[in-house]
Amino acid sequence: MTARTVPAAASTWVAGRLRGPRRSYPVVAVGPHAVYVDVHGDCVGVVARDAVALPIGLRTTLDRLPDIKGPVNVGQGRVWFDEYAVAVTRIVDPGVPRLGPLPAWSTPVPVDLPASALRALAAAEASAALELLGRGDGLTPSGDDVLAGWLVARHTTGRPSGEVGAAVATHAADRTTSLSATLLGRAIVGEAIPQCRDLLTALHAGAGVDGALAALLAVGHTSGAALAAGISLGLEDAA
């Protein structure tokens, strides 16, 4: 049977995960709007048009994904399931730009995480990473989201992620889900959802911050809020 090709937009990194021979990989999450697979510890996923545009996604224009019945294969430059072959036909850049120093910014976003850990993160201490990694529920625990926001904020302001980044790189794979660990790895190199980029560029431009923040807070149940909290902590001493 000839596979039906579904075009997708994805980052260079994601496209790189699809090389190699075609074989089946474990599905870590599946639903009508997204399916994620674990490719040797790196998660990539196929997402529908209106799904959250995670930097690890192959973004299609499908309103929703078909019900996936069989295994999900990856290789030969595509993600394969049932009669579909999802191919990256457009390379997009999920990286936040290097904006340089940004004005300090904080926003009162309530997150259900230990205050001590958040203080440690603001101070860029490795203990923050150890305490926050994997803390919270779901595929992307809110402790990870806070870390991701912080990492992206450091990246965009041109400051190294230091011992926090090192601790995340070392321990994420063991302490959280493979999906969240992959996202943290992307955050270290400055890749994030577009709502994070929009907030940071709004802060840089000094305009449209409220709208961008509202858009970020609307992401997921708690993910957007946790990312905003992380960005806020990452910018506390940015200037």
Site of interaction with another protein (CB under 8 A): 7-9, 11-12, 49, 53, 59-61, 89-93, 95, 97-99, 194, 197-198, 201-202, 204-205, 207-208, 212
Record the tokens describing residue 136, joined without a space. Answer: 């919270």
149-166 as b/e, with b when 16 or more CB fall inside 10 Å?
bbbbbbbbbeeebeebbe
Of 99, 76, 48, 54, whose CA–CA distance to 192 is shortest?
Answer: 54
Q: How near is the Cβ of 33 to another protein at its closest, in Å?
A: 15
Q: How near is the Cβ of 55 to another protein at its closest, in Å?
A: 12
**Closer of 91 and 104 to another protein (Cβ):** 91
Q: How near is the Cβ of 115 to another protein at its closest, in Å?
A: 31
Give the strand pairing for 84-91 and 4-10: parallel
**Closer of 109 and 192 to another protein (Cβ):** 192
**Closer of 131 and 191 to another protein (Cβ):** 191
**Closer of 15 and 28 to another protein (Cβ):** 15
Backbone angles phi, psi at 20, to 5 degrees: 90, 175
Give the strand pairing for 84-91 and 78-81: antiparallel
Question: In this structure, what DSSP letter does residue 176 have?
Answer: S
Q: How near is the Cβ of 86 to another protein at its closest, in Å?
A: 9
